[in-house]
Amino acid sequence: MKVVLSLGGSVFSDMEKIREFAEAIETIARENQIFVVVGGGKLAREYIRRARELGATETFCDYIGIAATRINAMLLISSLPSAAKKVPEDFIEAENLSKLYKVVVMGGTFPGHTTDATAALLAEFVKADVFINATNVDGVYSADPKLDPEAVKYDRLSPHQLVEIVSKNSARAGTNIVIDLLAAKIIERSRIKTYVILGTPENILKAVRGEAVGTIIA
Amino acid sequence: MKVVLSLGGSVFSDMEKIREFAEAIETIARENQIFVVVGGGKLAREYIRRARELGATETFCDYIGIAATRINAMLLISSLPSAAKKVPEDFIEAENLSKLYKVVVMGGTFPGHTTDATAALLAEFVKADVFINATNVDGVYSADPKLDPEAVKYDRLSPHQLVEIVSKNSARAGTNIVIDLLAAKIIERSRIKTYVILGTPENILKAVRGEAVGTIIA
Amino acid sequence: MKVVLSLGGSVFSDMEKIREFAEAIETIARENQIFVVVGGGKLAREYIRRARELGATETFCDYIGIAATRINAMLLISSLPSAAKKVPEDFIEAENLSKLYKVVVMGGTFPGHTTDATAALLAEFVKADVFINATNVDGVYSADPKLDPEAVKYDRLSPHQLVEIVSKNSARAGTNIVIDLLAAKIIERSRIKTYVILGTPENILKAVRGEAVGTIIA
Amino acid sequence: MKVVLSLGGSVFSDMEKIREFAEAIETIARENQIFVVVGGGKLAREYIRRARELGATETFCDYIGIAATRINAMLLISSLPSAAKKVPEDFIEAENLSKLYKVVVMGGTFPGHTTDATAALLAEFVKADVFINATNVDGVYSADPKLDPEAVKYDRLSPHQLVEIVSKNSARAGTNIVIDLLAAKIIERSRIKTYVILGTPENILKAVRGEAVGTIIA
Amino acid sequence: MKVVLSLGGSVFSDMEKIREFAEAIETIARENQIFVVVGGGKLAREYIRRARELGATETFCDYIGIAATRINAMLLISSLPSAAKKVPEDFIEAENLSKLYKVVVMGGTFPGHTTDATAALLAEFVKADVFINATNVDGVYSADPKLDPEAVKYDRLSPHQLVEIVSKNSARAGTNIVIDLLAAKIIERSRIKTYVILGTPENILKAVRGEAVGTIIA
Amino acid sequence: MKVVLSLGGSVFSDMEKIREFAEAIETIARENQIFVVVGGGKLAREYIRRARELGATETFCDYIGIAATRINAMLLISSLPSAAKKVPEDFIEAENLSKLYKVVVMGGTFPGHTTDATAALLAEFVKADVFINATNVDGVYSADPKLDPEAVKYDRLSPHQLVEIVSKNSARAGTNIVIDLLAAKIIERSRIKTYVILGTPENILKAVRGEAVGTIIA
């Protein structure tokens, strides 16, 4: 099976977390090919904030953010014996590396894309069997659960429903969006089986095993 | 002055058009630095349609589309004595080339971005004085003028208004969107002076001279 | 067995043809390693003609032609599940990719080389067991069969005879040359078993099976 | 005049410091070509420590350290209007960029080299008129001033004396070495005029003006 | 004026010769842009002979020959203060470097091309005003002067005559060909003013000044 | 088992030697993964000497030396059917190639590193089981055996002892150092099992079999 995992940069603030995720990834790699796309997390936010203050354009800040995701990717690779040490710079390179290593870890690729969108494009490109979006909420809600006590979590959504919910929420200022619109549209057009889960090693393993967890888009 | 021009691929179906646009670009280059971002046009559409039929993923189709924009860029370069012969692959390379040549012509860069978004990111990156979006309508309308006879053309919009109009129209299926949402958001965040014009050599020259043409976003 | 196939760009004008060739290539790939070198065909001719008219040098036209072959390569790749998605840019990269994928598709590489010459160099580099030159005539003739009714098709030629015939015909203006002189010389120096065949999927399969078809140079 | 400045990563912990150094660098750039080589500082140390704990080899840690220096370089570039946005990856690229921009900022280049050694090699390569090593002590001492109260600061040293002092101090465990041995040997072999100074914007400006500051190796 | 000079590798066996050629090149560079394409000479021949003996294919030998030309290029660069230190790998890169440096030195580029053909393609690409082919005979002869005492040296040839003479001589075994056929054909198609001269610094300077020397193809 | 072999450039002066080493390397490759790092030998020395005389900086001479090691690597590859034809430019690329080919041959990588240091870094990076340093003496001595008749050869050293001996000998002018200090320090920090041997094919095979030969650092 081919698995693409989008892993937010927040993982990288804690050594214990990195170790646990690495263990889960290696477990998955025993019987699957896994691609991980990591975010820039605190490091990216901090450097971008400072670059912006110093006068960098937003696009140059994006380049800095990409550099941060790549350092995070290298850190994760340090804990993964099965991973390629090369952080691929595009999807073609990622696929080639996947013929040599059970685990391929990517960071960002090009200004203007989020980690989620990069991961969704990668999932589409390699024809992933499953795309796991590890986030900090436990699934897709009808509204932001922190703002709206009546928000309902969906167990299952069609790709089209996902796009509708994300579109609607994207429009509202200050809303916590669990997956970005471009990513949702890619999931829709390519009908990749997707899990939006609370990012824990256990949940990732569950999603790989096809168990009910978070929101399944299928 | 630094000018970024987004030029749809439709230009490339007609030799006379290429020559006229080339002449306008060379005229601008006499006193300005100009970057042109070209689309894939008919060539891209044709090859993507066929690749899709043959089983390519959408992301691989994007790679094919990028290759098409780059051939179009090379064709335009053939008619521009002042242009770099290298089609840059990212914004940093584009800026470096602009120190050597008065005209730099780019195509697409990375899967998942439109020509407009690429051009807007480039305009932001090089701190362009003006971003000209040469389209096939004569400006931004309140609704699609082909569908809605009461649609009104705007002469002037704030960046925020642009984002709102584009967001609203993006949501409606089958609507002809004159600029894409990511491009609009980049214009908003970086406050780049933008012209949305009917793409003719004359209109481009007018926009460079700061005359009223199309819709000005400022 | 290692097979190198030179496939003229004319294939790419017809979807049905692409599908049939792709099927033949996949059949070959089941038991062999196959490299395909594709030409630029109509796309290359069209863009080069226009670039030349716009003032491009012949060498820059070559760059455009190479870009066209690469788009054609990507289109063929779209129909080949076993092929690398990377279009290699030199022979070393092609060989490396062949360790990962049963099919590797190349386009042109460098100004001044034809598709045939590129394919012959590749065949030499990877020590191909057989080099198949798929053309639009059914073999090598003593003279151009369209001009000379007494032209005789050869079933078998030595590499040296091939060079002599190609040399002789190259000298005559307007003659239809089935393989170019540099390609013939490479075949001679490296003694690669070569088939010059009318390019149909059936003929390609025959050549791979070692059956009598077209002209065999050995 | 061509100036190469080695700037430790410690600068990057403080926004005010970055701004002051940037101002000094821009001042120098008005009448000189300046190359800055920045270190990885706290970011590199932190990520390397964690990578090592996770099982990375020292050489892979070096790659991570290099990535960190490059992010720092991008941050400094954000504050320098005259700088190339490209962080060059070798000395040839750095020299080429210096023909386009008054300021070129590099990070690390290859595993196994310190910032100082990289900067000294760059100074040699571009035939710098002056190499300024901005450190956290105010010059070269006969011994580590923190350990030996009788340590004497040198105002002036020959390149050969520098190598001798650095060699002697390198041998002693726990000694604070102000410049590394490879850097010292490069200074010796190429006789580059070198200042070892306490890294403040004022001191850097003094060194560029040829005033007495820190230790001068000539 | 733009000058392209093809310089055989034989120059590199003698330090005094390198110095004299370097001086001539620097003289030319004072008022012109000059590109030099150097051959592999004895170094290439020696390494290719040995590689072939060890079992390398001819195409891999070509890669080795290219590597040899590049070392020769670096040696020549060592004696040229005005030259780019980067040895460009294609014509586009060469043109870009020529905007930064008065002298650009190339070696070989791709398997299957001679130094002469590479130089002629470069001359065509950059629209050189003059192409100087520095050889070991004093011009183009009607036949090989070493074999045929009645061979006549031409002072002036049309491009078409050059192609005819080279074609005729190429066909005869053991004939000393002063310029290769591909190079001759490129000269013909692009009508580049060409000097075939005995390669001495004086003759090169004469050719640049437009004086009668060797054979002029125009 | 993973083997890294550092092979001085002196091998490349003699065809018979190359063949014998190639045979040994192929023998090892039957049951192991082997990486070879080759030096520049006479070719590098000769070209560097001449470049220096012509005015090249030492760092540019280093680039020339690296180019020479890469030609030597290509020559060795010519005799090795199991080797990658690509000479990797960094350690990550070397590791990737080792997944495709039983033998990977590298040359130098970056200015400022010796062959030994490059090989030691590679050994560390790929977590080699054994690092074999093939030199022109039969092991590590207490002093230079040519200068000091009482010099004692060590059969076994700890990594720390190696560093001490190399440090001590580095300090003495004109001393023949069998391994450079950076290489020794890398061996120490990564505790790679190392053989310093007289470079003959037999000794290399002995070292791979774990037999007593030269000096073992463990």
C53 to chain B, any CB pair closer than 8 A? The answer is yes
Contacts with A52 from chain D: Cβ below 8 Å = 78
b/e sequence B123-141, b meaning 16+ C-beta within 10 Å = bbbbebbbbbbbbebbbbb
Q: Do chains D and C touch (3 or more CB pairs under 8 A)?
A: no
Residue C95 in contact with partner chain F when CB distance is under 8 A: yes
The alpha-carbon gap from A218 to the nearest alpha carbon of chain C, in Å, equals: 24
Pairing assessment for the beta strands E215-217 and E194-198 based on DSSP bridges: antiparallel
Q: Any chain F CB within 8 A of the CB of A85? A: yes
Cα–Cα distance, C44 to C64 (Å, whole number): 7
Give the mean pLDDT of chain E: 94
Structure tokens at C23: 């099927």
Q: Nearest CA to CA, how far is C89 from chain F (Å)?
A: 13
Do E85 and D95 count as a contact with CB atoms less than 8 A apart? Answer: yes
Q: Is C49 on the interface with B (CB under 8 A)?
A: no
Provide DSSP, A15-53: HHHHHHHHHHHHHHHHHSEEEEEE--HHHHHHHHHHHHH
- Is residue D194 classed as helix, strand or coil in its secondary structure? strand
**Is pLDDT of F46 > 60?**
yes
Is residue A9 very low, low, confident or very high in pLDDT (cuts 50, 70, 90)?
A: confident
pLDDT exceeds 60 at position B60? yes
3-state secondary structure of B155: coil
- Nearest-Cα distance to chain C for F89, in Å, is 14
Look at residue E175 and tell me whether its pLDDT is greater than 80.
no
The CA–CA distances, whole Å, from A92 to C88, C97, D191, F105 equal: 12, 12, 47, 25
The shortest CB-CB distance from F182 to any of D57, D109, D112 is to D112
Gap between the Cα atoms of B168 and D12, Å rounded: 43
Q: Consecutive sets of 10 residues in chain D, 218 residues long: mean pLDDT of each?
A: 94 92 98 97 96 97 97 98 98 98 97 94 98 94 85 95 86 65 94 96 97 96
pLDDT in tens, C158-190: 999 999 998 887 666 555 567 888 999 999 999
pLDDT of residue E147: 83
Contact (CB<8Å) B15/C53: yes
> pLDDT band at E166, cuts 50/70/90?
confident
Those residues with Cβ within 8 angstroms of residue A167's Cβ, 6 or more apart along the chain or in another chain: A181, A184, B171
Strands (DSSP E) contained in B12-155 are 33-38, 103-106, 130-135
C97 in A contact zone (CB under 8 Å): yes
- Please report the domains of chain A, with CATH numbers, ordered by start residue: 2-217 (3.40.1160.10)
Q: F30-44, F137-151, F202-216: which range is least confident on average?
A: F137-151
The residue type of E164 is E
Query: Looking at B157-171, D65-79, E164-178, which range is the least confident one?
Result: E164-178
Residue C175: what pLDDT?
Answer: 55
Query: Is D8 annotated in some ligand binding site?
Result: no
| Mutate: best of B33, B86, B91, B96, partner D, most D CBs <10 A | B96
Does B14 carry a binding-site annotation? no
Closest approach of chain A CAs to the CA of B200, in angstroms? 29
pLDDT of B20 higher than 80? yes
Instruction: Among B59, B90, B189, select the one facing A91 at the smallest CB separation.
Output: B59
- Give the pLDDT of residue B109: 95
pLDDT surpasses 60 at A136:
yes
Q: Do E100 and B100 touch (CB under 8 A)?
A: yes
Contact across the interface for F75 and E50, Cβ inside 8 Å: yes
Distance, CA of B110 to CA of E131 (rounded, Å):
40
- CB contact A124 to C (< 8 Å): no
A45 touching chain D per CB within 8 A = no
Summarize pLDDT for F3-34 with one digit per residue, the tens.
Answer: 999 998 888 889 999 999 999 999 999 999 99
Q: How far apart are CA F129 and CA F194, in angstroms?
A: 9
The single-letter DSSP state of residue B84 is -
Interface check D62 vs E, CB under 8 A:
no
State both tokens at F6. 């550092």
- d(Cα E143, Cα D94) in Å, to the nearest integer? 50
Q: What is the mean pLDDT of chain D?
A: 94
Q: Which two tokens stand for residue A165?
A: 């919910």
Q: Can you give the pLDDT at residue D177? A: 65
C89 burial (CB, 10 Å; 0-12 / 13-18 / 19+) is middle
Chain C contact partners (≥3 CB pairs within 8 A) = A, B, E, F
Determine the residue among A33, A93, A95 to mutate to test chain C binding: the one whose Cβ has the most chain C Cβ atoms within 10 Å.
A95
Nearest to B96 by CA among B111, B86, B107, B110: B86
Task: Let me know the angle formed at the C-alpha of D200 by D196 and D203, rounded to the nearest 5 degrees.
Answer: 60
Q: Is C107 exposed, middle or buried (0-12, 13-18, 19+ CB in 10 A)?
A: buried
Q: pLDDT band for position F175 (50/70/90)?
A: low
Partner B, chain E 132-151, Cβ-Cβ below 8 Å: none
Structure tokens at E188: 């013909």
Q: Is B13 annotated as a binding residue?
A: no
Q: What stretches in chain C show pLDDT beneath 50?
A: none
pTM, two decimal places: 0.96
User: Token pair for residue B111?
Assistant: 């899967």
F67 Cβ under 8 Å from any chain E Cβ: yes
- Output B143 or D183, whichever has higher pLDDT: D183
The DSSP bridge pattern shows strands F33-38 and E215-217 to be unpaired
